[in-house]
Amino acid sequence: MLHQSLFHTFLLSLLLIGTVMSCATNPATGERQLALMSPEQEIAMGQQAHAEILKAMEALDNPGLQRYVNDIGQRLAASSERPELPWTFTVLDDPVVNAFALPGGYIYITRGLLTYLTSEAELAGVLGHEIGHVTARHSVEQMSQTTLGSLGLGIGILLYPELQELGRAAQQGMQLLFLKFSRDDEREADRLGLRYMTDLQYAPQKLTDVMDVLAAVSQAQDQEKMPGWLATHPAPEERRELIVQTIRSENLQPQNPIVNQNEYLQHIDGLIFGSDPRDGYFVESRFYHPDLQWRMEFPEGWQTTNQRDVVGALSPSRDAAMVLGLTRSRTVDEAALQFRQQKGLSFGPLQAIQVSGASGVLLPFRAQTDPGIMDGLAAFLSYQGKVYQVMGYSMAARWAAYRPQVLQTFESFQPITDKDILSIQPLRITVTKLPQSMSLSAFVERRSSPVPVSRLAMINQVEPQETLAKGTPIKRVDGQLPPGARNEIIF
């Protein structure tokens, strides 16, 4: 599959029909809280959203790690004020550093975040924080306030919102997933999470280590990436001191605090680090997809991105775009027919085309949008039993200038025959122990790494020149980056 949709997002039912505005007592805080839905409706909403999340982001195929995370989450949730919820904890196969919660007890953490944690206590701190959002009903309260203000839930995660008018590639966004909580909500979730983890005897100070590593990631992360934990939570630097103060003021210090570093590291040993190049990667403007065995060249200078369901490109002036993705159709004619059935579009004559290794059809279209009239081309290509849809479009006044670039991109589709590309494998975390007292920098000098020592220091939560004791467990990154691949693979 292609990697995490740019434009495909989900319309979630709010299940608010027939509800009456009311205030309820928050079970976690004891305070009166605006709520337009009952606990039963909250659970139903979470169930529906959970199914959509797993369609979009996919659960990690690692039963042992899934059981490990779920067990910790279930024990934390059992100590919360809402143990009766159908709590579900899922590791998502996503390289973005992220964790989030949906109403009703649905908690998610990405493998991207797991690679930056170093102990079970840190994992418990993250899960406890997300549990706190659910027990305090932060999402429900925000949605209730939004409904009262008639603002709707149409603010999504589209990377290019100005292009959101084109048919299926532009449905309303899942704001439910990307609600940005207030500072007060975050403080409350931190306080509740600390309570839950210390109830299970986990070392509460480890939540400050999570804040430190998230601060480091936020400084290094490309701000144009898809939203992650750092996009939906306030800066970790703002919260670290408050966590320290809460630990002191509430005397949250177990007698024998649990860290469980070795057990945690055993569970993430072998985990993919960064983006999996088998799902596709860019070398400059050329896109390779080893699993699907094809490549395509986008115009030089265009901003490109590889997501789970589509590959996208945006012109330097941000007034034209191209989108490539798989269809569910069995033939190109079926795919073109389904595209023709979209409302708000008019079409030119269908034209048969042939490109290297693929046959297909070309369909001109015009769309009436709020910004004005858009013109474009949709190509439907059949290759190795799969049907791909490739669209290029711009405002009508600029289409004559962009049409040749779009056609050139379509025609660049061709099979991959290079065995080195076809056999490329992802980078993976390998846990080892230092053979003697040394720094991480000295260790990397002895054993080269495909990622910079600064990134290794981040995932190990140490300084590059810090002297570490013999036998210290270290997360290594093994493997090779595809030649010329963009650095985004390692983030």
pLDDT per residue as tens, the chain (491 positions)? 333 332 232 222 222 223 333 344 556 555 554 455 678 888 888 888 898 888 878 899 999 999 999 999 999 999 999 999 999 999 999 998 889 888 899 999 999 999 999 999 999 999 999 999 999 887 765 554 443 332 222 222 222 333 333 323 323 233 344 455 677 788 888 899 999 999 999 999 999 999 998 888 887 765 434 445 555 555 666 778 888 888 988 888 888 999 999 999 999 999 999 999 999 999 999 999 999 999 999 999 999 988 777 899 999 998 999 999 999 999 999 999 999 988 888 999 999 999 988 999 999 999 888 788 999 999 999 999 999 999 999 999 999 999 999 999 999 999 999 999 999 999 999 999 999 999 999 999 998 899 999 999 999 999 999 999 999 999 999 999 888 887 666 65
Q: What is the per-residue pLDDT for 228?
A: 52
- Tokens describing residue 387: 């049907």
Q: What is the per-residue pLDDT for 249?
A: 87
Give the integer Cα–Cα distance in Å for 141 and 132: 13
SS3 14: coil
Quick one: DSSP state of residue 11? -
H helices present in 304-350, as ranges: 332-340
Domain ranges of the chain: 22-268, 278-419, 426-490
Beta bridge partners of 110: 92
Q: What is the per-residue pLDDT for 143?
A: 55
Residue 186 · residue 234 · CB < 8 Å = yes
Q: What is the per-residue pLDDT for 220?
A: 78
Tens-digit pLDDT profile for residues 140-199? 655 544 433 322 222 222 223 333 333 233 232 333 444 556 777 888 888 999 999 999
What is 108-176 written as a DSSP string?
EEEHHHHTT--SHHHHHHHHHHHHHHHHTTHHHHHHHHHHHTT--S-----S-GGGTTSGGGGPPP-HH
The burial class, CB within 10 Å (0-12 / 13-18 / 19+), for 66 is: middle
Tens-digit pLDDT profile for residues 28-53? 555 554 455 678 888 888 888 898 88
Rg over CA atoms, the chain:
24
Taking domain 278-419, whether its CATH number is 3.40.1000.10 is answered by yes
Q: What is the per-residue pLDDT for 140?
A: 64
- Tokens describing residue 419: 């065995």
Q: What is the per-residue pLDDT for 5?
A: 30
What is 356-421 written as a DSSP string?
TTEEEEEEEEEEEETTEEEEEEEEEEEETTEEEEEEEEEEGGGHHHHHHHHHHHHHT-EE---HHH
One-letter identity of residue 461: Q
- Tokens describing residue 388: 């791909």
Q: What is the per-residue pLDDT for 348?
A: 95
What is 43-103 written as a DSSP string?
HHHHHHHHHHHHHHH-B-S-HHHHHHHHHHHHHHHHTSS-TTS--EEEEES--S--EEEET
Q: What element of type H or E holds 288?
A: strand 286-289
Give the integer Cα–Cα distance in Å for 404 and 188: 55
Helix pair angle (453-460, 206-220), 10° resolution: 160
Beta bridge partners of 394: 320, 375
The burial class, CB within 10 Å (0-12 / 13-18 / 19+), for 25 is: exposed
SS3 content of the chain, % helix, strand, coil (to 5): 40, 25, 40
